[in-house]
Amino acid sequence: EIVMTQSPATLSVSPGERATLSCRASQSLSTNLAWYQQKPGQAPRLLIYGASTRATGIPARFSGRGSGTEFTLTISSLQSEDFAVYYCQQYNNWPPRFTFGPGTKVDIK
């Protein structure tokens, strides 16, 4: 099983600042990694797939980088609506064995 870790667990950021979230996989994923945003009481929302491709309708301030086992999600200038929990998810296995990271909570500093 591929184990996903995320750091930090909580990130305190002021509006307008940059936030950088990390995700690490226990084995190489190539670029088979996605990022999600989840707000309280809502379903997760796909932000990034293929490690760096923004999903439909996702603002350009969200960007993803990485390959192999190390990935980052950067929010270039945090807006009030960006305070949420962010999860990474791998989809490298065949047959499918999807796993999520434990999440990073981005809160207001």
Partner 1 sequence: QLQLQESGPGLVKPSETLSLTCTVSGGSISSSSYYWGWIRQPPGKGLEWIGSIYYTGSTYYNPSLKSRVTISVDTSKNQFSLNLSSVTAADTAVYYCAEVAGSFAYWGQGTLVTVSS
Q: Which is nearer to partner 1, 69 or 99 (CB)?
A: 99
Residue 32, number of CB atoms within 10 A of its CB: 18
Coil vs helix vs strand at 78: coil
HEC assignment per residue over 8-56? CCEEEECCCCCEEEEEEECCCCCCCEEEEEECCCCCCEEEEECCCEECC
- Which residues make up the interface to partner 1 (CB under 8 A)? 1, 32, 34, 36, 42-46, 49, 55, 87, 89, 91, 95-103
**Beta carbon of residue 102, minimum distance to partner 1 (angstroms, whole number):** 5
The overall longest dimension of the chain from CA atoms, in Å, is 42
Q: Which is nearer to partner 1, 16 or 96 (CB)?
A: 96
Q: Which is nearer to partner 1, 27 or 98 (CB)?
A: 98
**Beta carbon of residue 76, minimum distance to partner 1 (angstroms, whole number):** 22
Q: Which is nearer to partner 1, 45 or 61 (CB)?
A: 45
